[in-house]
Structure 1
Amino acid sequence: MFAQEIKLYFEKNTIKNAQTALLRLQAIDIKEPKLTLLDKEPFNLNFKKNSFKKNEYYALIPISYYKKPKKYKVIISYFKSNKKYFKSIKLNVIDGKYKSETINVSKSIFKPSKKRVQRTKREYKEAMDIYRSVSDKILWKENFIYPINSKITSAFGTKRVYNNELKSYHSGTDFRAQIGTPIFASNSGIVKIAQNRFYAGNSIVIDHGHGVYSCYYHLSKMNFKVGDFVKKGQKIGLSGATGRITGPHLHYAFRINGIQVDPLQAIKVLNTLNN
């Protein structure tokens, strides 16, 4: 059963793969609101208090790029007056129909050495350990902004064909940025990564709380270190051409609850929380 006084809002219950769905729950005096997206491996989430709205909870449901297009059942539960309530709703995931692009790089860059493989595996594990960490504290108080006002040169989700071989998809949004262009924090948070990595080059990753992370890659200069608190709009560094890259630009990415998602769509969703 589901308590009658509870109001449930599922914004855009039809969503593309690699996008983020928002589920809002308006309720008074409830405990442990949770949801489960049913699949071969169920995806469990705890609702968070929406600091922008009184008596409201929300959950961000990130959909993997590789999630099979179909209708998924989402189970919501919570306790009220020592009684547990349930409700199920549908989330329709459709194919994003992302484009493809071919990238030619030198064989010395493309062919991995044993040392390179060890490095990239270590860097990936270190990053994923961070992305899977979800803080109960929200660190932003205002809407998210773009890190740079520039032309988008490569959209999120594009299939990446390196030297005529499909290797991956574009995991972020690329903005045109000559070396030395100021890059700004999309919102307030704590720096969790500030280091040079093989693929991403000089990288800054900001934890905004509630499982939301923004990422800024290929920088020529980083102005902050791990543990620093960054305010929305602060200059976190300068754009560059570090890492595995064919030319200078800013690669801007988002992780929500550990899953890579379209950063620009995620910003739109997050900015509706105070509406």
Structure 2
Amino acid sequence: MKFVILFFLVTSCSMISTQTAKTPAKIKQEKVVIKPKDFSIRPGEAITIDFPVSSESTDSVLKCDDQKIPFFKKDDKYLAFVAETYFSNQKPMTCVISKNGVEKKVANISVSDKTFPSEKLNVDQRRVSLNPKDLKRVQKEQVFLNKNYASSPSHPYFEEPFMLPIDAYVTSIYGSRRLFNNSKQSQHLGTDFRAAVGEPIYAANAGKVVVARDLFFTGGTVTIDHGLGIFTIYGHLSKVEVNEGDYIPKGVRLGLAGATGRVTGPHLHWGVKVNGHFIEGESLVKASEMVGDKN
């Protein structure tokens, strides 16, 4: 009887062991194939590129021609804002994601040509030929601004597309080559809107106020950090109604238009900076439409 029981136990264990060995292995999750897309951009503009969410892109680094670009998840894909400098050499860009030393191409970006007009302006000579005191102030302000531009988080503060800060006629477009008082040349890396003194100015999107003070060139100024290295600048305000450190929603009133700083008359100067480049604001408005798209 003991022999029978022992034989039964040995046989049963052998069967269990055999069944366990034959249990099929877990099926590996199918990888998403990332095929590079083709995009086009012009000097001084921003575009949005997208690529699918996959195991390769999770915790990866995105670079476009060696410049690190932050990206974020939107539904079943990743989005990233890519900007091209005003001073472009029109060299094509390649964007790749890298993880653990392995790189995969996600975008090919061609750069087309763009021409900019010229204009002459007459302003207070003090704002053109700086005396030592004013120069020291400008240099100090630039250090402060650069510090803010270098500390944007890699995530967005916004969940909606960008909008224009005011519905008004454009008096000076982005990129125009300027000659001040027939002596000093520069580029206008922003957009000027017609705005009477006291006209309300609104935030183009949600973000953190990092500048809310008077500056030498732009007068009453508000700068918003929207995350992802995206900033919007509102200049020449007669009154600033927000404070540095405030987190604000899209469309909140920032202040009132004016004629402070280096100006020829009342207007709003709207600047937009993306990944270190001052770009045309309307291109960001268009590029951000994908943020609001519903899949």
**Normalising by structure 2, what TM-score?**
0.82
Q: CA deviation at 1:23?
A: 1.7
User: Which letter does structure 1 place at the counterpart of 2:134?
Assistant: R
- Residue 54 (structure 2) pairs with residue 23 (structure 1): no
Structure 2 residue aligned with 1:49: 72
Tell me the SS of whatever aligns to 1:220.
strand
Structure 1: state its 5+ residue gaps: none
Structure 2 residue aligned with 1:196: 214
Partners of 2:67 and 2:155 lie apart in 1 by 21
Pairs aligned (count): 262
Structure 1 residue aligned with 2:13: none
Partners of 1:107 and 1:234 lie apart in 2 by 35
Per-residue displacement from partner, 1:156-210 (whole Å, max 9, x unpaired)?
1111111223521111111100100011111111100001000010000111111
> Which of residues 73, 76, 90 is equivalent to 1:69?
90
**Contact 1:6/1:26 (<8 A) preserved:** yes
**Contact 2:127/2:217 (<8 A) preserved:** no
Q: Which has the larger radius of gyration?
A: 2
**Contact 1:8/1:24 (<8 A) preserved:** no
User: Which letter does structure 2 place at the counterpart of 1:33?
Assistant: S
**Normalising by structure 1, what TM-score?**
0.88
Partners of 1:71 and 1:182 lie apart in 2 by 41
**Pairing of 1:195-274 with structure 2 (within 5 A):** 195-274=213-292
Structure 1 vs Structure 2 CA RMSD: 2.0
Q: CA deviation at 1:6?
A: 2.5
> Which of residues 154, 171, 175 is equivalent to 1:153?
171
Tell me the SS of whatever aligns to 1:265.
helix
Describe the shift of the 1:270–1:227 C-alpha distance in structure 2 as closer, same or farther (beyond 3 A).
same
Query: Normalized per residue, which structure has more helix?
Result: 2
Structure 1 residue aligned with 2:139: 121
Describe the shift of the 1:223–1:89 C-alpha distance in structure 2 as closer, same or farther (beyond 3 A).
closer
> Which of residues 74, 78, 92 is equivalent to 2:110?
92
> Which of residues 93, 98, 105 is equivalent to 1:78?
98
Describe the shift of the 1:170–1:98 C-alpha distance in structure 2 as closer, same or farther (beyond 3 A).
same
Structure 1 residue aligned with 2:18: none
Structure 2 residue aligned with 1:32: 59
**Pairing of 1:164-175 with structure 2 (within 5 A):** 164-165=182-183, 167-175=185-193
**Contact 2:97/2:104 (<8 A) preserved:** yes
Query: Normalized per residue, which structure has more strand?
Result: 1
Tell me the SS of whatever aligns to 2:291.
coil
Partners of 2:171 and 2:145 lie apart in 1 by 25
User: Which letter does structure 1 place at the counterpart of 2:130?
Assistant: P
